[in-house]
Copies of this chain bind each other. A is one copy, B any other.
Amino acid sequence: MNLILLFDDDFIKAGNSVRLKDHRLRHVIDVHQASEGDELTVGLLNGKMGVGHLTFLSPEAMEMDVTLNVEPPPSLPLTLIMALPRPKVLKRVLRTISAMGVKRLFLINSWRVEKSYWQSPALEEEKIREQLVLGLEQAKDTVLPEVMLRRLFKAFVEDELPGLIKDSMSLVAHPIADALCPRDVRQPVTLAIGPEGGFIPYEIEKLEACGFKTVNLGERILTVETAVPVLLARLF
């Protein structure tokens, strides 16, 4: 936790003091090993970042006077579309994309997505948010990504995707594509990533018909978990 993320209901009195009792208190005691008087990096959810001056610390609660005057880091000009991965992978991918500055993610169905994944508790709004917050706290950011679930591939691609990709470079990662993924594109991108095993030919055709270009990452087949940071690092 390189930044303590604050929420509106952490604030006490009418002003700039917060009182924390949850895992953030534990972290400040156990990991930061902080004392009263210390300054900690803080940020307000979807707001500015700054410094928290520790005015009170006990095993039950901590209080800080906070000054919020620093803009969060720039986000990536990216809409990410991912076939829903298995729950364990999903959790890590959510932390990764949140830490890397992705602000819009669509989790979609695909032929090779196991139906059971859609029943996972990891998809509950609160669980998704938990992982996204961990990513923000890691990377020092405050802007929570939006995550949308779309269980119907065809309806999503035909009805919603054409509007989403407007004015962006639209790419789909596909191991057998002819072209390598471009580098340092300096423009908005819509990037689609398939499940382990890849999108099936029908799905690739639907995405191509919508305007997507298939790109690969070389001869090596990477897991989704590795492919996501690799693709983002190449593109931006």
Contact = CB atoms under 8 A, between A and B. Distances in A.
Nearest to A72: B219
Interface residues of A, number: 26
Interface in A63-112: 73-74, 96, 99-101
Contact of A233 (B99, B219, B221, B233): B233
Contacts of A230: 100, 229-230, 232-233
| Count of this chain's copies in the oligomeric assembly | 2
Contacts of A139: 220-222
Interface in A199-236: 218-223, 226, 229-234
A140 interface: yes
A114 to B, nearest CB: 12
A141 B229 contact: no
Contacts of A141: 220
Nearest to A96: B226
Nearest to A197: B2
7 contacts: A99-B221, A100-B220, A139-B220, A139-B222, A140-B221, A226-B229, A233-B234
